[in-house]
Chain A
Amino acid sequence: MLERIYKAQQLMNEACKTLGRQINIMEVCGTHTVSIFRNGIRSILPKKLKLLSGPGCPVCVTSQGYIDIVLQLAERDDVLIATYGDMIRVPGKGGSLETKQASANVKVVLSSEDALQLAKDNPEKKVVFVAVGFETTAPATAVVVKEAAAESVENFCILSGHKLVVPAMRALVSEKNHNIDAFLCPGHVSVIIGYRSYAEIAERFGRPCVVAGFEPMQIIEGLAEICRQLAVGKAELQSVYTAVVTEQGNTTAQKIIAECFEPADGYWRGLGKIEKSTLKLKDKYSRFDAFKKFDITETPGEDASGCRCGEVLCGLIGPTDCGLFGKSCTPETPIGPCMVSSEGVCAAWFKYGPEERRER
């Protein structure tokens, strides 16, 4: 183990020396962010290697407009909201789903199947499934939409907030943050999409893309592989998470996504509107589309005053550069989504960052 760490450190040091400047690597996945903090990985990195936490926490990148739509729907007597627990505390206009939970029309589910079952058990209600998440979660939604169609569960619908990882990475390197040198790509998103999906980012934009799992050694060796590439001026696709990530990904899941959804332009917190970056239900499933059922349109919405989650998600500032961090915005009283989600970078900084920075 130690030998592997030394070897990785050597590659990182060589890259810093060769490039002679700061190297910025963005970890895209919120679970990586937590693991990096939890395992103290920053402490073994060269000073010139900086890790930026990217837009890889679905709760964090969901637009305020979407959150406000969910909260409005939760007000209706004829609606039951089915949501993953991650979304429950995000504040919006007039509270959060947690505060609406008291009125008994918000239910936390552990899977999309549970949401469909809720619709079957409550035929007098319209059940709206808050369908958020990246490509890992989207196929689970697609499966139940197909089931609802096959079984004619007409009181079931989904509010698709599903997002695609690669268009966000493209938006980051092409316009939002030119300082990102490479990406540590998400583990379980890549199980579905396969590492070939990052080809454009490596080939067109010249940024190394390396997939890693969540154990500390995986992350360290993923970072080392990125550094090896940077030192020799290459940008390649690579996976150090060979146990589960293949080049092609899970093609059954990809087919089910493509059968139910089509890419559409959509809003991200911090990144704004990104072309073909969200998943919209295809017309043949429109009767299960909550946007159509309730005749609503998603707008970007307004972020809370003073909240700088958007800049944090692009890697432009660190959590402690936000004036609200650790003062009015804490995990107990979160203002922005990066503090709400346990995978949010602000929550991770608050829990694991240096003491003096927590109490600004």
Chain B
Amino acid sequence: MCLAIPVRIVELEGDKAVVDAMGNRWRAKTTLLPEAKLGDLVLVHAGFAISLVDEKEAKETWQFLAEIANFEETPNKVSG
């Protein structure tokens, strides 16, 4: 449950962001990471950006998530 997802901020207005991970887009907030800017890669957990992250780390985590995807059987699971 404490897994955060790396995403790119593709829209940002105040602390309201639209983020993108592997083509999926959703809303998130940057309240907990005020330094986040448009275009930054960030880790998002339960709808909130919690840390900046670099390109290499983001790619590794996306790969890891794709690998464990078949383990997640609980419907509507929050991996955030």
Contact = CB atoms under 8 A, between A and B. Distances in A.
B54 to A, nearest CB: 6
Given A188-B2, A243-B54, 5 more contacts: A31-B3, A38-B71, A214-B64, A250-B51, A256-B31
Interface string B38-72: 00000101111011111011001101100110011
A110 B46 contact: yes
Contact of B71 (A89, A114, A136, A351): A351
B45 A110 contact: no
Nearest to A85: B76
Interface in A250-272: 250, 252-253, 256
Contact of B57 (A88, A112, A186, A244): A244
B12 to A, nearest CB: 16
Contacts of A143: 29, 31-32, 48
A360 to B, nearest CB: 21
B33 interface: yes
Closest 9 interchain pairs by CB?
A: A111-B47, A85-B76, A243-B57, A136-B2, A84-B78, A140-B46, A253-B32, A108-B76, A188-B4
Contact of A110 (B2, B47, B73): B47
Interface string A1-41: 00000000000000000000000000001110011001000
Nearest to B47: A111
B4 to A, nearest CB: 5
B75 interface: yes
Q: What range describes how many residues of A lie at the interface?
A: 35 or more
12 contacts: A30-B2, A31-B1, A84-B78, A111-B46, A137-B1, A137-B45, A191-B43, A191-B50, A192-B50, A250-B32, A341-B1, A342-B77
B1 to A, nearest CB: 5
A57 interface: yes
Interface of B: 1-4, 26-29, 31-34, 43, 45-48, 50-54, 56-57, 60-61, 63-64, 67-68, 71-78, 80
Interface in A169-198: 186-189, 191-192
Interface of A: 29-31, 34-35, 38, 56-59, 84-86, 88-89, 108, 110-114, 132-134, 136-137, 139-140, 143, 186-189, 191-192, 213-215, 243-244, 250, 252-253, 256, 331, 341-343, 351
A58 B51 contact: no
Nearest to B54: A243
A88 B34 CA distance: 33
Contacts of B52: 244
A252 B34 contact: yes
Given A86-B74, A214-B64, A114 B50 contact: no
A115 B76 CA distance: 15
Of B2, B56, B57, most A-chain CB atoms within 10 Å: B2
A189 B33 contact: no
A254 to B, nearest CB: 10
Contacts of A139: 32, 48, 50
A88 B3 contact: no
B53 A244 contact: yes
Contacts of A243: 53-54, 56-57
Contacts of A341: 1, 74
A29 B3 CA distance: 9
A27 to B, nearest CB: 12
A30 B78 CA distance: 13
Contacts of B50: 136, 139, 188, 191-192, 250, 253
Given A250-B51, A253-B50, A191 B80 contact: no
B2 A58 contact: yes
